[in-house]
Amino acid sequence: MDRRIYGGGSAVTSLVLFLLFFFSSSSASALSKNTNPSSGSGQINSNSVLVALLDSRYTELSELVEKALLLQTLEEAVGRHNITIFAPRNEALERDLDPEFKRFLLEPGNLKSLQTLLMFHIIPTRVGSDQWPSEESGRVKHVTLANDHLHLIKGDGKKTVDSAEIIRPDDLTRPDGLIHGIERLLIPRSVQEDFNRRRSLRSISAVLPEGAPEVDPRTNRLKKKPAPVPAGSPPALPIQSAMAPGPSLAPAPAPGPGGKHHHFDGEAQVKDFIHTLLHYGGYNEMADILVNLTSLATEMGRLVSEGYVLTVLAPNDEAMAKLTTDQLSEPGAPEQIVYYHIIPEYQTEESMYNSVRRFGKVRFDTLRFPHKVAAKEADGSVKFGDGERSAYLFDPDIYTDGRISVQGVDGVLFPEVEETVESVKKSVKKVVQPRRGKLLEVACRMLGALGKDTSYLSKCR
């Protein structure tokens, strides 16, 4: 039986034509993508600027690119952009570069720094020598592949990129980019900071040495380690032991609540209180002695870092001006004067005034051992010392941070001179007759009783 469908021929024909057009357009687009030389498929045309770089006179730069494993990254960049490469001459990388810095770049752990350095020489924009900014327009900033900035400058008839002169403009030109030869290597700030940090060993954490374990002779067992020192606790040794001369190896910083490592930063605190003295006014001489004439600022910072607290009785400039040349000419005289003005306690105006009000006369220890400074209440304030060598608390609480306290006084203090009066004892000489022997005495008595010659008696007297 013959079956026919009437009226459906035109619809089938339209469907067939639509499918043919869809597949043909898809094939054409795929073909165009595959034949595009600047596609990001990872296949670079032989006429690419990247191939020209690898085969150029810039062999040192090419070797660094290969060692930095940047070929694939640059292929993708060339596929997306028309790039400009600033290539340093070989001499800039061979002889002119610091050997220590080159060794730093080639270390496996510094691969990121090497990649950043090389990508800093490439900008994702085509800038030929004819497109360089003029002297009137000033410098033009461009973003590099390292997400940093380069500045193109023209002045005195020279084209420069940052501080490097263009010695071979448009040295190699390709459809997808060009290469300018420059006189020296460009170093971004981030790489320079990494190198400085590595060179100064700031990124290397030091391990404190530990002594050999001790054995208890009574039990033949290892002694228990001492309990860890809680943060903020006072140091175990007296401050006299901390100031004693010893090896140059710095001790470990004391535990404390301040700082990112929970240690006391004595150097920063001493620097802060010296700046406060200078801004306060009238105490420039004291600050000059601490910083320039002596090394007391460094020593105070070390003591505070080890957990000690200090109170400084700072004489003002008028008091320091009264010092004579004889008082300062002796070796170590400035240090001894300042030592006598530093109390190894944390005292404020309130605490010192309460002490002298309650106990009358108080004697504070100083860093000038074994001398002490006396304090008492006078005229509603605190008076240090006695007689002409006394000083009043003049500017209280100039600086107080919980570790260092600075109290201004109106005089320079000196320790009391102990006058030893030698009493001359008169020695009375007592003449003692020699004692005669018992046998001689008995013989004399016998001779006397018998009435013998008197010459014998004279010997017995």
282-308 pLDDT, tens digit each: 999 999 988 888 888 888 988 888 888
Task: Pick 458 or 180 by higher pLDDT.
Answer: 180
Rounded Cα distance, 382 and 352, in Å: 7
Say what the pLDDT of residue 417 is. 65
Average pLDDT over residues 240-245: 66
Long-range contacts of 278-283 (CB under 8 A, 24+ apart): 280/395, 280/398, 282/316, 282/317, 282/318, 282/395, 282/408, 283/314, 283/316, 283/317, 283/398, 283/408
β-strand partners of 400: 405
Rounded Cα distance, 341 and 347, in Å: 13
pLDDT confidence bin for 418, thresholds 50/70/90:
very low
Lowest mean pLDDT among 40-44, 328-332, 336-340, 425-429: 425-429
Placement of tokens 């040349």 in the chain? 325
Say what the pLDDT of residue 200 is. 66
Residue type, position 321, single letter: A
CB count in 10 Å sphere of residue 414? 16
User: What is the average pLDDT value for the chain, to the nearest integer?
Assistant: 78
Say what the pLDDT of residue 207 is. 52
Rounded Cα distance, 200 and 419, in Å: 55
Task: Lay out the sheet containing 381-384: strands in order across.
Answer: 342-343, 310-315, 404-409, 391-400, 381-384, 372-378, 362-365
Average pLDDT over residues 342-348: 93
Task: Lay out the sheet containing 158-161: strands in order across.
Answer: 122-123, 83-88, 177-182, 164-174, 158-161, 149-155, 140-143
pLDDT confidence bin for 119, thresholds 50/70/90:
very high
β-strand partners of 215: 222
Rounded Cα distance, 316 and 134, in Å: 60
Rounded Cα distance, 36 and 28, in Å: 12
DSSP string, 91-114: HHHHTSS-HHHHHHHHSGGGHHHH
Q: How many residues does the chain have?
A: 461
Residue type, position 132, single letter: W
Cβ-Cβ contacts under 8 Å for 101 (sequence gap 6 or more): 195
In the chain, what percentage of residues exceed pLDDT 70?
A: 70
2-47 pLDDT, tens digit each: 444 344 444 545 554 555 554 444 444 433 333 334 444 445 678 8
| Furthest C-alpha separation in the chain | 203
Say what the pLDDT of residue 2 is. 43
Say what the pLDDT of residue 32 is. 38
| Contact predicate 62/54, CB 8 Å | yes
Q: How far is CA 326 from CA 287, 293, 330, 415, in A?
A: 21, 16, 7, 16
Q: Which of 19-28, 161-170, 238-247 has the highest mean pLDDT?
A: 161-170
Placement of tokens 């950043």 in the chain? 116
Rounded Cα distance, 281 and 269, in Å: 19
